[in-house]
Structure formats: structure tokens, C-alpha cells
Amino acid sequence: MIKDEIQTEFKDAMKSKDAPRRDVIRQINSEVSTRKAAPGFDGNDGDDFYVAVIGSYVKKMDKARQEYEGLGERGAEMAAKLAYEVEYLSRWLPTKLDEEATRALVEGVVADLGVAGDPKAKGRVMGTLMKDHKDDLDGGLVNRIVSEALTEG
């Protein structure tokens, strides 16, 4: 179970004085505690629960990393820290299609729907893609590629 792996990793990080790993695991444990205390928690803290918590955290940190990278040298240190966290935690997340594979999928759906050059069809394309491939796709990447595909037409 992911819960057990994380606790083992935490103990190992503490013993080896691996501060970056220790800190990110502490943060995940904090996120887990917050989620468990939230209204609507059903008591199930299995792998699906941990994947959801880690996925949500990784998404937030990846967005923050991009913002820090935009600051140039001033944000470089924080961007590197967040990049480490995203990479480290990704091992517990399902793999997503890369940009090239996502682009091919988007182009196929745009062609199938016959909406090339129609930016108003973005919702239809996104809906079709996410309905059929939700677990395989990064929503932010899909959003960007669909926008590009429909404006290039």
C-alpha cells in the first residue's frame, strides 16, 4: 500500500537525514490529515485516496513551480525544490501521456469531430478526450494543445 511505502520512506529519510525527501513526505502526511478531517471523508484511506491526495498536491506544486520559473533567477531555488517534489511524488501516480502522444490524440479527435479552425468547439473536444482518456491525460496540457489545434485549424 502507498500509505505503508510513504511511512517507510519517511523513516528512511529521517535516518539518512535526507531533508528534501523528509519535508515532502511530511507535507503529504499533512495533506492526508487535512483530507481525513474534511467533511465527507468516508474512512477509506487506501491507495485510491493517497493517489488523489498526492495527485492534487503535485498539480498545485507543478503550477507553483512554473510560476517560480517565470521569476527567473529570483525563483530558481524554489522552482528546483518544487521540481524535486513533483518528480519524487510522481512515482505513486499513474503515468500520463507525454506531449507528443497527447497532441496526436487531440489531432485525431479534432479531425473526427470535423472542428478544425473552430475555437468554439473547445468544450466538445475537451469533453470527448477527457471522457475517453481522463486517467491518461494531463488536463492542463490537453487544454493548451486543444486551444492551439483549434486556432491553427
Q: Please check whether residues 34 and 81 belong to one and the same domain.
A: yes
Is the pTM higher than 0.85? no
Which residues, 6+ apart, have CB-to-CB distance to 131 below 8 Å? none
Q: Express as a percent the part of the chain with pLDDT over 70.
A: 99
Q: Please check whether residues 31 and 56 belong to one and the same domain.
A: yes
The Cα 77–Cα 79 span in angstroms is 5
pLDDT at 19: 96
- What would the mean pLDDT of 48-58 be, rounded to a whole number? 93
Count of other CB atoms within 10 angstroms of residue 9: 19
Domain of residue 108, residue span: 99-152
- What would the mean pLDDT of 90-109 be, rounded to a whole number? 88
Burial class from Cβ neighbours inside 10 Å (0-12, 13-18, 19+) for residue 69 reads: middle
Q: Please check whether residues 9 and 77 belong to one and the same domain.
A: yes
